[in-house]
Amino acid sequence: MKLLIPTALLALASARLVNKTINRCDGVIVNGINHEKEVIKENVDKPYMMSIDYSTNVLYYTYTGHQRMTFVPAALNLKTKENYIITGMRGAFSTSVDPKSHRIYIAGMDGIYEFDNQEKIIRNLGLTNLNIWQVFAKDGVIYYTTYPAEKAFVYKNLQLTKVAGIGDTRALLLGLDKKDNIFFSNSSGVFFHPKDGNLTILVGEYTVNAFTTDANEKLHFSTPAGIFSTEVESTGNVKIKKVAEINNIYGMAVEAAPMFYKTTVDLQIFKD
């Protein structure tokens, strides 16, 4: 399970819109606009698989715990900066918040749990006892991938099946856009499977470390070299746009809507 983890210490940081002047050398350029970098939580070892509950502005993430022996889930309130360490499960690796129901899922080495942020209660959903690499929740449906088998499953209407378009091929990470088109990645690259269609196509040879949707459910992914947005045109063509070039990204979540809709955008980034 530690396969993808480099040894460097990482901080949890965010980039905030500071000025519409592009030619500054500090900060981070996101969609052509300079953002200032801000560390939002220090002393967090390799935070990973972040997600945001947009109704509460709480960021969920996991990090490497004491003596690198375990993975710990935590919740960071982005407004108050209050940080809460979630107890009650072992080896928590991935988090996901369903954008509609706002249910919070945390997956780890013995399955998928649901976390109640008000009561601070965590419970195993009992869907699987496999080692889970990633969980992705959307519209009451739970998608997850296993490790080391790299199989993708979907739990919908009380039924557990393989994910259409992925089937028996390897998938370590996946994400769905607003229209339920599926993107997934394995060591060969990023692949796309349209909601209504039978073909799975190669999008590019990216080394993905996170799929995440923003508040408008636009799907993004990150690689160690940058942040990319996805778009499926009406013709069915997939357009990938590099929205930020940042080195050593380890995971990410998008805090607010992209700046096309709002004047500020916050990108939560991991950086050396």
Among 7, 67, 118, 187, binds ligand NAG (CB under 6 A): 187
Among 162, 170, 178, 271, binds ligand NAG (CB under 6 A): 170
CA-closest candidate to residue 268, choices 258, 246, 253, 256: 253
CA-closest candidate to residue 174, choices 148, 204, 213: 213
**CB-nearer residue toward ligand NAG: 162 or 170:** 170
Tokens representing 22 are 């592009």
Angstrom CA distances, 150 to 130, 185, 248, stand at 11, 10, 24
Among 70, 77, 169, 216, binds ligand NAG (CB under 6 A): 169
Angstrom CA distances, 216 to 31, 206, 219, 222, 249, stand at 16, 24, 9, 17, 22
- CB 257 to ligand NAG: min, Å: 20
Q: How far apart are CA 187 and CA 150, in angstroms?
A: 10
Window of 98-106, 188-196, 255-263, 264-272 that interacts with ligand NAG by CB under 6 A? 188-196
Contact in structure between 38 and 242 (CB atoms under 8 Å):
no
Q: Applying CB under 6 A, what is the total number of residues that bind ligand NAG?
A: 12
Tokens representing 84 are 């809460």
- CB 96 to ligand NAG: min, Å: 22
Residue 23 is a binding residue for ligand NAG (CB under 6 A): no
- CB 160 to ligand NAG: min, Å: 20
Among 186, 209, 213, 230, binds ligand NAG (CB under 6 A): 186
Phi, psi (rounded to 5 degrees) for 25: -90, -20
What is the x/- site pattern for ligand NAG, positions 200-219, by CB under 6 A? x-------------------
Binding site for ligand NAG (CB under 6 A): 19, 21, 169-170, 186-188, 191, 196-198, 200
